[in-house]
Chains A and B, each alone.
Chain A
Amino acid sequence: MAHPLIAWALALLQTLLFIASAPLLAGWIKCVRCVLQNRASPSVLQPYRDLGKLFRKKVVLAEEASWLFRSTPYIVLGTMILAAAVIPLVTVRLPTDAIADVIVLVGFLALGRFFLALAGLDIGTSFGGMGSSREMMVASLAEPAMLMAVFTLSMTASSTNLSTAMHYLLQSGLVLRPAFVFTAAGLMMVAIAETGRLPVDNPATHLELTMIHEGMILEYSGRHLALMEWASEIKLMIYAVLIADIFLPWGIATRFTAWALVMGVVAIGAKLALLVVLLAVIESGLAKMRLFRVPEFLNLAFLLCLLGLLSHIILEVGI
């Protein structure tokens, strides 16, 4: 174990890297999607430029906006940064990992979502209200599935701490776990629903009658909108890193040497790039679902996660 001060510095650096590279991931998704659809793609750095532009613009507030509406962007971004801090990105066993376990991580995401939904209702426009109610519907179905996936991981590793669980997975080597196959599929479906990607929500359009996320942030402008956009990019990154961490933990640094850390950065970069290509292929291949079919989609995700848990108990415990 390294000096505590160095470890904290590393944890801070890792979190900064996490939130700074989130727009890059969003840009990379757009690029891959454009290539798949035979369109000329914007630069990978376009999300940074968008954020910069929005930060420079003036904030326009509705007359009825309360303090809740003004403070929500900061709360949402804050919860996302906290959540990002507890996920091992480059290395495991950092002091921030001990702050919160996976269940608290789900709680952070829920807290951000709660305030987002309140802000959607605050102004009183019909789109905001519809967006909030839909977001809560999706969340109420996606969260149990996500928790099932988390339980499967915790039961396998006998720990709810993400860092400890990853350490266990790395040490047990390459084991075929039927539970993880189902859980990976279920968690991916949850991630698609929670980050508002196709086929649940279309991230690329405003003013669609079925929009969910865009409906809630429709009234935001300028700095507030930039914070919201950034928070949703971090959320996408959180899910991507979580999937990469749990199901492909190899390559992450377990010691604090320079070489291991560089390898960790390269490994997570490669894993995320590949995952995003997979996501883009899924998104390009599917049409957006009708809103009333979303519960069926999430029901399947829940079933997959439940099957993962069951097959863990039946096939992997007590051998």
Chain B
Amino acid sequence: MVAVGLYTQAIRMLAALVLFTSFALLAQTRMAALIRLFAWQGALLAVTTALVALVTHQPRLYLSALLTLGLKALLIPWFLNRLVIRLELQHETEDLRGNAMVLLGAAALTVFSYYVVMPIVELSTLVTRNVIAVSLAIVLLGMLLIIVRRKAVTQVVGFMCMENGLFFAAVVSTYGMPMVVELGVAFDVLVASILFGVFFLHLRDSIDSLDVDRLNRLREADE
């Protein structure tokens, strides 16, 4: 192994931890803990972005890091948490049968993303090229979270997790998107979280639950 700088080692360490939070999200069943984990993922992502900024001398990445910290580690989790309290879902747990298989599937997705990214890694000369596979894995794990869970709040967390992965991919593969795009995406995510809140309230009013499986049933068929 070629000796690499301490900061690069730290970036890899943090990237591995971000991946771990994605796995933990898949294993977590309690709503409040799920949102807290999501906040941790945002915070770790912000620290990683700041470190990438430090290593690659890209001052505008500091702004991205700050934006990530404010939005994904503080504001959106706080908003989701408030929503969960308002809907009285704090102690809600999801029934996870066969979750071991889901976690093994998640590991398989990680291997798959490594396989997909391999040609890019060989061509790239960036310091962070090894982390690209991790960022793709985070996107896929977010998608898996949306697929395997039935509660609307968890699916929203999965969606935000995918967004985290995309942002991470942008940071590590091209050192961030242009500031205009980044601001636009951040604003979109913020608006999305508010829209999701409205959607939750309506969902509960109309079907008395946040279990989206029940949307498949027609009211007439029940009666």
- Whether the pair A319, B19 counts as a contact (CB closer than 8 A) is no
Cβ of A28 under 8 Å from chain B: no
Cβ proximity bits A276-290 to B, threshold 8 Å, 1 near / 0 not: 000000000000000
Within 8 Å CB of B130, what residues of A?
Answer: 314-316, 318-319
Using CB atoms, name the residue of chain B closest to A175. Answer: B9
- B20 interfacial contact with A, CB 8 Å: yes
A300 sits at the interface (CB 8 A): yes
- Partner of B20 from A175, A182, A299 at Cβ < 8 Å: A182
Q: Note all chain B residues with C-beta closer than 8 A to A319.
A: 1-2, 4, 130
Q: Which residues of B contact A307 (CB under 8 A)?
A: 16, 19-20, 23, 107
* B114 at interface, CB cutoff 8 A: yes
**In B6-35, which residues have CB < 8 Å from any A CB?**
6, 9-10, 12-13, 15-17, 19-20, 23, 27
Contact between B16 and A315, CB atoms less than 8 A apart: yes
Q: Is residue B66 within 8 Å, beta carbon to beta carbon, of the partner chain?
A: no
**Does B133 belong to the interface (CB within 8 Å)?**
yes
Give Cα distance in the complex from A296 to B100, angstroms.
Answer: 8
Is B110 in the interface zone, CB < 8 Å from A? yes
Main secondary structure of the interface of B (DSSP, over half): helix
Contact A303 B107, beta carbon cutoff 8 Å: yes
Main secondary structure of the interface of A (DSSP, over half): helix
B74 shortest CB reach to chain A, Å: 26
- With A176-B12, A300-B27 in contact, is A311–B4 under 8 Å at CB? no
> A178 vs B16: C-alpha distance in the bound complex, in angstroms?
6
Other-chain residue from B17, B23, B121 in contact with A178 (beta carbon distance below 8 A): B17
**B53 on interface, CB distance cutoff 8 Å:** no
| Residue B131 lies at the interface, judged by CB distance under 8 Å to chain A | yes
What range describes how many residues of B lie at the interface? 20 to 34
Q: Is A315 a contact partner of B17 (Cβ separation < 8 A)?
A: no
Q: In the docked arrangement, what's the CA distance between A316 and B133, Å?
A: 12
Give the complex CA separation of A318 and B4 in angstroms: 12
B113 to chain A, nearest CB (A): 9
Q: A299-B103, A319-B2 are in contact. Are A314 and B133 (CB under 8 A)?
A: yes
The complex places the Cα of A318 from the Cα of B23 at a distance, in Å, of: 24
Q: How far is the CA of A313 from the CA of B10 in the complex (A)?
A: 17
Instruction: Determine whether A172 belongs to the interface, using a CB cutoff of 8 Å to chain B.
Output: yes
C-alpha spacing A319/B12, complex, angstroms: 12
With A315-B134, A316-B1, A318-B121 in contact, do A178 and B15 touch (Cβ < 8 Å)? yes
Q: Is the CB of A299 within 8 A of B19?
A: no
Interface string of B60-104 (1 = CB under 8 A from A): 000000000000000000000000000000000000000010010
CA distance A171 to B2 in the complex (A): 13
Instruction: Please tell me which one of the listed residues B12, B17, B27, B110 contacts residue A316 in the complex, with CB atoms under 8 A apart.
Output: B12
Binding site for A on B (CB under 8 A): 1-2, 4, 6, 9-10, 12-13, 15-17, 19-20, 23, 27, 100, 103, 107, 110-111, 114, 121, 130-131, 133-134
26 contacts across the A-B interface (CB closer than 8 A): A172-B1, A175-B1, A175-B9, A176-B6, A176-B9, A176-B10, A176-B12, A176-B13, A178-B12, A178-B16, A178-B17, A179-B16, A181-B16, A182-B16, A300-B27, A303-B23, A303-B27, A303-B107, A307-B19, A307-B23, A310-B114, A313-B114, A314-B130, A318-B121, A318-B130, A319-B130
